[in-house]
């Protein structure tokens, strides 16, 4: 184990976001290590998405701070970075998978261009290489190579979501934020997507923060989880531990309200 | 000259404001400087931006040339020229070499421009990123941070669909290694003329209220891919009038049976060549 491995990749300290007098999220602190998948679960309105946006600097937090370890191992406070550095981080070292793929994809251009965009943004100027990377990633997310020049409009929901993942992972990010990545997909497509995401995260050293209301998704993908209620983290721990032996009444309620087939 | 108007139509305060915008544009080549564009006695899309830039540049001893799609005798060119003759009483010419200020739409003259000349281009949409990013706040940020990767997404799409870069006009270019600009809807045939041009090139967009500039002798590089380099249009045949092979040609439909004729779009260039006895003028009508 090197020194880098025992230092966290991302640390949130007392993170909070207020919308006027209303609480988005409050006093959230945690650390995320390289290669780890953290799930944030809770019901609608519990502050999951607000927290995710604060972590990924799409929203400025009202209190608290997020530290991130850059590729050169420097630990920086994200709010201290200049906007240029933050945007560079977002398109190289980070990924963001939206629930609605239309938000994360460029719907007007082909799938190949969608995957290639980040490469071009970091200065790749060789068409053949961009095309090659796009084909490689389509293969990895199980989309047929002959769909490369199709617009995402011609894709099904599940394919769009997989395309969105490919588009995010093409620059080899170290951290991916996912907001309900399986929301709105039917169960068999969900299963395939989860399978794919497990394959992509396990063993690659990729870290992820996954927001979901679906405990099954948390169970399958994450190693650790946090349960949120009314903007606060009420319970956190190893995923299996929290799901098998929930301590908080609210967590018990969540776990027991999952439908059993 | 009509005495009811100030010299060159605009009042002196307005010219001062536009000259300030021009100075700023010259100081930051390729940067789109906002300016308080005025209502002009012509509709948007007819060159209100170019006319305002020209009006604030003109001196009584200037010689003005106005071209529209390369021609000196088309509606837009004739009426703008007449406008300045009436409001400024200045001399006009069709000769590219004699002109001190050239206002143009859609073309850059074939005759190389020289030091001391100013080319004013009319611009409909100054923002090269507009079709990829509709938000003005975002495009400004992208310019500020030189985030131009998305420009290549458009070129990628061209190659993926057509096998080559199919953008033929308003071809994006990078000025002096910094700002990417839309060179107005000139054919990409004219893009190489932007590069290291000894004349000052000013771009005015009236409706969008932006002015930008390319300094004399500055590097202007058209965007491309390493394995799909930038190239200009080539024509299979010479100009039917002057026989020129190195100019941009217009296709003219001669009748309703598909007879076509290709002639120079730059009328000054074509007529000078014919006056010098080149080509087969009169051979074909």
Of A258 and B262, the structure prediction assigns the larger pLDDT to B262
The C-alpha angle B271, B277, B280, rounded to 5 degrees, equals 80
Q: Please state whether B43 falls in left (phi above 0), alpha (psi between -120 and 50) or beta.
A: beta
Contact yes or no for A122 and B160 at CB 8 A: no
Q: How confident is the model at residue A190 (pLDDT cuts 50, 70, 90)?
A: confident
Q: Which of B30, B70, B204, B244 is catalytic?
A: B30
Q: What is the pLDDT of residue A1?
A: 43
B197 tagged catalytic: no
What is the domain partition of chain A in residue ranges?
Answer: 1-93+175-261, 103-172
Of B156, B160, B228, the CB nearest to A120: B156
Give Cα separations from B94 to A256, B62, B68, B78, B104 (angstroms): 85, 13, 12, 11, 12
Question: Hey, is the C-beta of A120 within 8 angstroms of any chain B C-beta?
Answer: yes
Q: What is the CATH number of domain A1-93+175-261?
A: 3.40.50.300
Q: What is the pLDDT of residue B282?
A: 47
Contact yes or no for A120 and B149 at CB 8 A: yes
Whole-number Å distance between alpha carbons of B156 and A148: 12
In contact, B152 and A120? CB cutoff 8 Å: yes
DSSP assignment letter at B284: -
| Tokens describing residue A114 | 């969608």
Contact yes or no for A117 and B153 at CB 8 A: yes
The C-alpha angle B262, B266, B272, rounded to 5 degrees, equals 100
Long-range contacts of B186-190 (CB under 8 A, 24+ apart): B186/B106, B186/B107, B186/B108, B186/B121, B187/B106, B187/B107, B187/B233, B187/B248, B188/B222, B188/B230, B188/B232, B188/B233, B189/B232, B189/B233, B189/B248, B190/B107, B190/B108, B190/B248
3-class DSSP state of B79: helix
* Lowest mean pLDDT, pick from A70-74, A188-192, A237-241, B52-56: A188-192
In contact, B7 and B60? CB cutoff 8 Å: yes
| Percentage of chain A lying above the pLDDT 70 cut | 97
> A143 burial class (0-12, 13-18, 19+ CB within 10 angstroms)?
buried
Distance from CA of B154 to the nearest CA of A (A): 8
Contact yes or no for A123 and B227 at CB 8 A: no
Distance from CA of A83 to the nearest CA of B (A): 9
CA-nearest residue to A123 within chain B is B149
pTM, two decimals, is 0.87
Alpha helices by DSSP H, chain B: 12-27, 48-57, 75-88, 136-144, 149-162, 191-194, 267-275
Whole-number Å distance between alpha carbons of B13 and A131: 54
Q: Which of B47, B50, B204, B242 is catalytic?
A: B242
Of B150, B152, B160, the CB nearest to A112: B160
Contact yes or no for A127 and B149 at CB 8 A: no
| Percentage of chain A lying above the pLDDT 90 cut | 70
Question: Hey, is the C-beta of B225 within 8 angstroms of any chain A C-beta?
Answer: yes
* ipTM of the shown complex: 0.85
Report residue B180 CA to chain centroid gap. 16
B74, B121, B82, B84: which is closest to B102 by C-alpha? Answer: B121
Q: What is the pLDDT of residue B168?
A: 93
Give Cα separations from A200 to A148, A178, A208 (angstroms): 20, 14, 11
Q: What is the pLDDT of residue B280?
A: 63
Whole-number Å distance between alpha carbons of B214 and B193: 12
Place of tokens 């261009």: A113
Instruction: Put the strands of the sheet holding A10-19 in their side by side order.
Output: A22-32, A10-19, A63-69, A75-77
> Taking 70 as the threshold, does the pLDDT of residue A255 lie above it?
yes
* Residues 6 or more apart in contact with residue B92 via CB below 8 angstroms: B63, B64, B65, B66, B81, B84, B85
Beta strands in B163-280 (DSSP E): 173-175, 179-181, 200-205, 210-214, 220-222, 249-253, 260-264
Chain A residues close to B152, C-beta within 8 Å: 120, 125
Looking at every residue in chain A, the average pLDDT score rounds to 91
B121, B123, B145, B122: which is closest to B133 by C-alpha? Answer: B145
Contact yes or no for A83 and B228 at CB 8 A: no
Question: Hey, is the C-beta of A106 within 8 angstroms of any chain B C-beta?
Answer: yes
The per-residue pLDDT string of chain B (285 residues; one tens digit each, 9 = 90 and over) reads 667 889 999 999 999 999 999 999 999 999 999 999 999 999 998 999 999 999 999 999 999 999 999 999 999 999 999 999 999 999 999 999 999 999 999 999 999 999 999 999 999 999 999 988 899 999 999 999 999 999 999 999 999 999 999 999 999 999 999 999 999 999 999 999 999 999 999 999 999 999 999 999 999 999 999 999 999 989 999 999 999 999 999 999 999 999 999 999 999 999 999 999 887 644 443
| Tokens describing residue B196 | 């290291």
Q: What is the pLDDT of residue A261?
A: 63
């Amino acid at each position: 184990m090197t020194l880098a491995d025992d230092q966290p990749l991302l640390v949130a300290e007392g993170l909070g976001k207020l919308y006027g007098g209303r609480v988005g999220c409050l006093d959230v602190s945690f650390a995320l290590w390289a290669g780890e998948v953290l799930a944030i679960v809770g019901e609608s309105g519990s502050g999951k998405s607000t927290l995710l946006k604060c972590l990924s600097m799409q929203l400025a937090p009202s209190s608290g701070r997020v530290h991130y370890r850059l590729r050169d191992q420097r630990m920086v406070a994200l709010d201290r970075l200049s906007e240029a550095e933050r945007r560079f981080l977002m398109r190289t070292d980070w990924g963001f998978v939206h629930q609605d793929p239309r938000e994360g994809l460029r719907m007007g251009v082909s799938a190949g261009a969608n995957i290639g965009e980040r490469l071009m943004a970091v200065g790749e100027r060789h068409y053949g290489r961009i095309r090659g990377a796009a084909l490689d990633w389509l293969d990895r997310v199980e989309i047929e190579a002959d769909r490369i020049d199709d617009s995402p409009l011609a894709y099904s929901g599940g394919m769009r979501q997989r395309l969105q993942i490919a588009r995010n992972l093409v620059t080899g990010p170290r951290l991916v934020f996912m907001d309900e990545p399986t929301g709105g997909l039917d169960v068999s497509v969900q299963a395939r997507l989860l399978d794919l995401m497990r394959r992509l995260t396990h063993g690659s050293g990729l870290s992820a923060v996954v927001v979901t209301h679906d405990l099954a998704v948390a169970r399958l993908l994450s190693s650790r989880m946090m349960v949120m209620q009314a903007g606060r983290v009420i319970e956190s721990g190893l995923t299996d531990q929290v799901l098998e032996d929930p301590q908080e009444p609210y967590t018990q309620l969540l776990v027991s309200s999952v439908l059993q087939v | 000259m009509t005495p009811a108007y100030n010299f060159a139509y605009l009042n002196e305060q307005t010219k001062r404001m536009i000259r300030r915008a021009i100075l700023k544009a010259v100081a930051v080549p390729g940067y789109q400087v906002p300016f308080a564009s005025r209502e002009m006695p012509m509709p948007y899309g007819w060159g209100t931006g170019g006319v305002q830039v020209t009006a604030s540049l003109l001196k009584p001893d200037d010689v003005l040339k106005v071209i529209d799609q390369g021609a000196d005798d088309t509606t837009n060119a004739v009426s703008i020229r007449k406008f300045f003759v009436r409001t400024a009483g200045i001399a006009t010419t069709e000769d590219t070499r004699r002109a001190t200020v050239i206002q143009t739409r859609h073309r850059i003259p074939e005759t190389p421009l020289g030091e001391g000349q100013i080319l004013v281009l009319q611009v409909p949409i100054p923002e090269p990123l507009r079709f990829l990013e509709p938000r003005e706040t975002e495009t400004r940020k992208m310019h500020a941070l030189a985030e131009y990767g998305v420009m290549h997404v458009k070129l990628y799409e061209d190659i993926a669909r057509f096998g080559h870069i199919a953008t033929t006009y308003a071809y994006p270019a990078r000025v002096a290694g910094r700002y990417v600009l839309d060179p107005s809807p000139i054919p990409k045939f004219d893009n190489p003329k932007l590069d290291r041009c000894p004349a000052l090139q000013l771009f005015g967009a009236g409706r969008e209220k932006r002015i930008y500039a390319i300094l004399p002798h500055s590097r202007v590089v058209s965007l491309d891919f390493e394995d799909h380099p930038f190239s200009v249009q080539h024509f299979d045949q010479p100009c039917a009038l002057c026989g020129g092979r190195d100019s941009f040609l217009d296709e003219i439909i001669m009748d309703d049976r598909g007879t076509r004729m290709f002639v120079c779009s730059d009328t000054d260039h074509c007529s000078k060549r014919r006056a010098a006895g080149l080509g087969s003028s009169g051979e074909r009508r």
